[in-house]
Structure 1
């Protein structure tokens, strides 16, 4: 039963359309009302995102990325801009192998780092063979134009449309140069059904995006960030 529920959760999250008509980011469909879509959104005790602060030091092993595939398409699912990846793209954590299913964006960032909110956050969503989830988050600060984002967003799809990239590029190009330093905590999906048991890894090194890129992404997605949730008794560690 647990595997079935996890599989359904993965399917819903990867599709990005779980209960699409029943939730959003504004008004009566906004985050304050997600409990009507999934009770976990209102009653869960390990919900994401969080403010990554008061962090404990730990001996964390490097994240083992094996991204050899390509980014081929970008879909506007009505909640986010979500990229399609092909090929062999895995992440090994705690001896378990997780496959990259997709990555997508939030404007502004959902997680905060020491109370600081970033203009953009990317979530790389992975699942293991049992449906367990691991999300790697990458933050972006305002600065130089980002060449990878430029390739990805040169022609943004409208709602419920998919845009095929004219020039597919390596998935690995989306990762910062240094992925060895990160924060780790247990959390949940940041959208309904808000399922818990998700392993979160927030990379310390940030990317950059230009004011023009930020305007284009926010213009298409709006404010699609769930507010910070209570941390409760969770431990957040860093290396």
Structure 2
């Protein structure tokens, strides 16, 4: 089901608040929770199930309060959108060495510097991308088997995340084959392959139409002021490749959050 569209003649004015996100990097392999303690996601503090699951994040620490009280939280169900003449997403992505991490919550690929997303006059550097199953975003109530979140930050520290929905297709995706062949064997482990270069641009669809809204990080501390772009055209990978990710993380998606007074815009 696709979102119902409205036409608006007025411009939407939104404020993007500064948030911080630490991208994992370096050329070391970490196995222990102690050495991983500086990473943005500490497996000992929150999870997706039980007493430390998403419903309880907001009560776990004062700094997680927005997970409970925020009014611009992500993910959302995109059911109604307002068609606008929006700026094109322009991807200026360069090749990166393979830097793949199992941080205890997802598989994350840290990206070399020098790759950018431009939206109008705004420029954001690509820091990393990671995966969720099922997709955290829902389109007309439907969640896809997976999603990739490409996390960017501008010079002011403001975040922009591109969500690439992932559907089940027939054929293996060559890039995912490369990723999964180099998966870290343990949580809190990073593998760096200087001899393997790839460009994440090869995963992007030919059609860059998108929905956009203001939201938050989908993991603690659930910081708001994040600019979200959800690409309309999904990526297809094989059932085998989806299953391989689910062997590591059977479910790592936050429940859908209320939209409140926010508007979702459609780029057409």
Same fold (TM over 0.5): yes
Aligned residues: 233
After TM superposition, the score normalised by the length of structure 2 is 0.82
Q: Would you say 1:169 and 2:198 are equivalent positions?
A: yes
Give yes or no for contact 1:135–1:198 (8 Å, CA) kept in 2: yes
Q: Conserved in 1, the CA contact under 8 Å of 2:100 and 2:182?
A: no
- Give the number of the structure whose alpha-carbon radius of gyration is greater: 2
d(CA) in 2 for partners of 1:24 and 1:121?
18
Report the CA distance between 1:12 and its aligned residue.
7.3
1:191 maps onto 2:226 in alignment:
no
Indicate the residue corresponding to 2:56 in structure 1.
33
Q: Is the 8 A contact 1:189 1:195 kept in 2?
A: yes
Gaps of 5+ in 1: none
**Structure 2 residue matching 1:151: 3-state secondary structure:** helix
| Unaligned runs of at least 5 residues, structure 2 | 1-16, 26-37
Which one has a larger percent helix, Structure 1 or Structure 2? Answer: 1
- Alpha-carbon distance between aligned partners in 1 of 2:140 and 2:183, rounded to the nearest angstrom: 32
Counterpart Cα distance in 2 of 1:236 and 1:199? 11
Supply the distance in 2 between the matched residues of 1:19 and 1:227 (Cα, whole angstroms): 20
Runs (4+) of structure 1 exceeding 3 A deviation are 12-20
Q: Which moved more, 1:43-52 or 1:150-159?
A: 150-159
Counterpart Cα distance in 1 of 2:263 and 2:39: 28
Instruction: Quote how far apart the aligned CAs of 1:69 are.
Output: 2.8
Per the alignment, do residues 54 and 201 of structure 1 end up closer, same or farther by CA in structure 2, a change over 3 Å counting?
A: same
Pick aligned residue for 1:223 from 232, 248, 251: 251
When structure 1 is superposed on structure 2, of 115-124 and 154-163 the one drifting more is 154-163
Query: Given the superposition, is the C-alpha separation of residues 194 and 219 from structure 1 closer, same or farther in structure 2, using an over 3 Å criterion?
Result: same
Output the aligned Cα RMSD: 1.9
Please give the alpha-carbon distance, in whole angstroms, between the structure 2 residues aligned to 1:206 and 1:19. Answer: 30
Q: TM-score, normalised by structure 1?
A: 0.91
Q: 2:231 aligns with which of 182, 203, 206?
A: 203
